[in-house]
Amino acid sequence: MRPKYSLVIPVYNEEKIITELYRRLSAVIDQLGEPVEVILINDGSRDRTLSLLRELHEKDPRICYISLARNFGHQIAVTAGLNFVRGDAIVVMDADLQDPPELIPVLVEKWQQGYQVVYAQRTQRKKESWLKRLPAYVFYRILRRLADIEIPLDTGDFCLMDRKVVDVLNSMPERNRFIRGLRSWVGLQQTCICFERDPRFAGEVQYTFRKSLSLAAIGLISFSRVPLRISTYLGLLAATVAVLMAILVFYWRIIAPSSPLTGLATIMIAMFFLGAVQLVSIGILGEYVGRIYEEVKGRPLYVLSEVGGFADPDSAYKK
Ligand code: UDP
Ligand code: MG
């Protein structure tokens, strides 16, 4: 029987969480009253996660899993899961129970009212360190100012999407994926529910600072060309400073010849300033060119090593 709801959950080194996740999920999906499939994506875990997923699948056929050949990263893991979904409404959530499964019926209710995307906005993040909260807070606000489209504030990937939206996402070939942005890009009827983000149930944060920074860069670069324009502005600023300095030198030489010319120091400052402007501009340009390079290589987004619970994996394996 074709499931009505699909849950997509990426897991990476989450052996401490899987049993509790299953316990809380099964309570919720029993309550939905329609066929549900849960797709767990093992993103190249190095602990016992995969064998736990196999066991769960043996025990409960609603649980399916796909295993990627190595760690491809959260966004790609979610993408892989979305390629396999069979339901009419698809929920994407984290495995660590920071996105409470008990909210799924609320998301479903909104979907039944006719919304194609229901995303969950965090009003509060409990017990997450300042080092994570502050940059995230700043990033979402910068993104809102710079992005070409409207991307809601403080929203992660926890959401429900209609089949139609997932089909559009699956047809997008880009590999630098910022799913929460692509989801807004699709448009249609979108709405939000608010929730307080619980602390991680157990285990370590898998989104290290470096991974979060890289996701932030992907988000900014895929949805804005303003950083490129910043180089132009910096160039204009350097030109203005040069003109001001020329006027100053002219004044010192002709009108007030007794004033000291600061000589070497002035030249060094000007040199470093110009050098900095050029390097920053090249860096920004490099970020964009680097992404073009990654896109044109056209490698597959991920490689599968194993799937469980899909009758014909080849038909689902589109990318
Ligand atoms: N995750 C993943 N691949 C990664 C990093 C994370 O599949 O390379 C999964 C992880 O198992 C979890 C979700 O992505 O289900 C969110 O990760 P985490 O809780 O570490 O990040 P945060 O809560 O800080 O967003
Ligand atoms: Mg988490």
Query: What is the chain's Cα-based Rg?
Result: 25
Least distant ligand from the CA of 72: 1
What length does the chain have? 319
* pLDDT for residue 312: 53
* CA 11 to ligand 1: nearest atom: 11
Distance 94 CA to ligand 1 centre (A): 7
* pLDDT for residue 317: 47
pTM for the model: 0.83
* Per-residue pLDDT tens listing for the chain (319 residues): 788 899 999 999 998 899 999 999 998 998 888 899 999 999 999 999 999 999 999 998 899 999 999 999 999 999 999 999 999 999 999 998 888 999 999 999 999 999 999 999 888 776 777 777 888 888 888 988 988 888 888 888 999 999 999 999 999 989 999 999 999 999 888 998 888 888 877 777 778 788 888 888 899 999 998 988 888 888 888 888 888 888 887 887 788 777 666 677 777 777 887 888 888 889 889 999 999 999 999 899 999 988 888 865 554 444 4
What is the CA 204 to chain-centroid distance, rounded?
19
Q: Would you give the DSSP letter of residue 74?
A: H
In sequence order, the 6+-apart residues with CB closer than 8 A to the CB of 46 are: 13
Q: Which residues pair with 191 in a beta bridge?
A: 118
Least distant ligand from the CA of 41: 1
- Contact in structure between 102 and 21 (CB atoms under 8 Å): no
Distance 306 CA to ligand 2 centre (A): 25
Question: Three-state DSSP class for 91?
Answer: strand
* pLDDT for residue 230: 86
Taking the C-alpha atoms of residue 102 and residue 194, their distance in angstroms, rounded to an integer, is 13
Q: Does 81 sit in the ligand 1 pocket, CB within 6 Å?
A: no
Closest CA to 87 of 40, 119, 54, 39: 39
* CA 10 to ligand 1: nearest atom: 7
Q: Would you give the DSSP letter of residue 41?
A: E
pLDDT tens figures, 122-172: 887 767 777 778 888 888 889 889 888 888 888 889 999 999 999 999 999
Q: How far is CA 287 from CA 68, 207, 228, 282, in A?
A: 27, 21, 10, 9
* pLDDT for residue 241: 83
* pLDDT for residue 261: 62
3-state secondary structure 178-197: CHHHHHHHHCCCEEEEEEEE
- Residue bearing tokens 């996105």: 99
In sequence order, the 6+-apart residues with CB closer than 8 A to the CB of 242 are: 270
